[in-house]
A and B are shown apart, each in its own frame.
Chain A
Amino acid sequence: MQRDNEMSLEFDSISNNEGFARVTVAAFLTQLNPTLEEVADVKTAVSEAVTNCIIHGYENSIEKIHIYCKISANEFYVEISDKGKGIENVKQAMEPLFTTKPSEERSGMGFAFMEAFMDELEVVSEPLKGTTIKMKKIIGLT
């Protein structure tokens, strides 16, 4: 049995870093020998969460996004946080197709994809304090 392993990452909230964030998390995940599909699922979920921090949390101002990952046995845990404006109504934000930014062609599918591609999703948010997305995925479930 492998020992637990943790990783933290902090980077600027600019769109160039969306690719960096998901690829880095995917690289950390490879220790669990995930399938290509599991890697794709995690990359999409991370990309959605990071994009939310940039567009919604910080509304395109440049601040810091923090990612924390932990591997424990076959469980992969990832936490993505911003200290941005927070979400007034988390339940509404998580409804498929709901978006506060239709003019920017946001599809409103971000949370739906995170929920579909990960095994657990928790959203902790406080207006004016920020948002943390906590996700888990068991690797090698199938």
Chain B
Amino acid sequence: MKEMYEQTKKGLLIRMPKEIDHHSVDEIKNKIDKKIEYDCVANIIFDFNNTEFMDSSGIGLLLGRYRMVQYIGGRISVVNVSDNIIKMMRMSGVDKFITISGN
């Protein structure tokens, strides 16, 4: 089992779980927000490699983290995103604020 976080040159990498819904988002937020604040993280990379499911709760999570880091000039990107999740990101317009790369 890989660690949930990894500090990379490009920013803090966060490995997202298999299922992203209202239930799991609450857990993820509890874990990552403290780290983002304590470590003054500016750039975050969410890795969707293991993610098979996402609903609109995931969109809320991304927008919320974007709001947290934008004040200090931070950036949010998402990597290894499957086609159906990219579709949801585009529909909601979060692709205007975050950088998306597929798998």
Q: Per-position contact with B for A94-110: 1 when CB-CB < 8 Å, else 0?
A: 00110000001111111
A42 smallest CB distance to B (angstroms): 12
B31 located at the interface, meaning its Cβ lies under 8 Å from any Cβ of chain A in the complex: no
Q: Is the CB of B1 closer than 8 A to any CB of chain A?
A: no
In-complex Cβ contact of B91 among A40, A41, A105, A112 (8 A):
A112
Query: Is residue B36 within 8 Å, beta carbon to beta carbon, of the partner chain?
Result: no
Residues of B near A116 (CB, < 8 A) are 91
Q: For the complex, would chain B's binding face be called helix, strand, loop or mixed by DSSP majority?
A: helix
Give the interface segment out of B6-14, B15-23, B39-47, B71-79. Answer: B15-23
Contact, CB under 8 Å: B64 / A48: no
Report if A105-B61 is in contact (Cβ < 8 Å); known contacts: A51-B21, A55-B22.
Answer: yes
How far in angstroms is the closest Cβ of chain A from B8? 25
Report the interface size for chain A: residues with CB under 8 A from the other chain: 27
The interface residues of chain A, by DSSP majority, are classed as helix
- Whether A127 sits at the interface, judged by CB under 8 Å, is no
Binding site for B on A (CB under 8 A): 15-16, 18-19, 22, 37, 40-41, 43-44, 47-48, 51, 54-55, 96-97, 104-110, 112-113, 116
Extra contacts, 10 of them, besides A47-B22, A107-B57 (Cβ < 8 A), are A15-B23, A15-B26, A18-B22, A44-B54, A51-B56, A105-B29, A107-B92, A108-B56, A109-B56, A109-B88
Interface residues of chain B, those whose CB is within 8 Å of chain A, are 19, 21-23, 26, 29, 53-57, 59-61, 63-64, 84, 88, 91-93
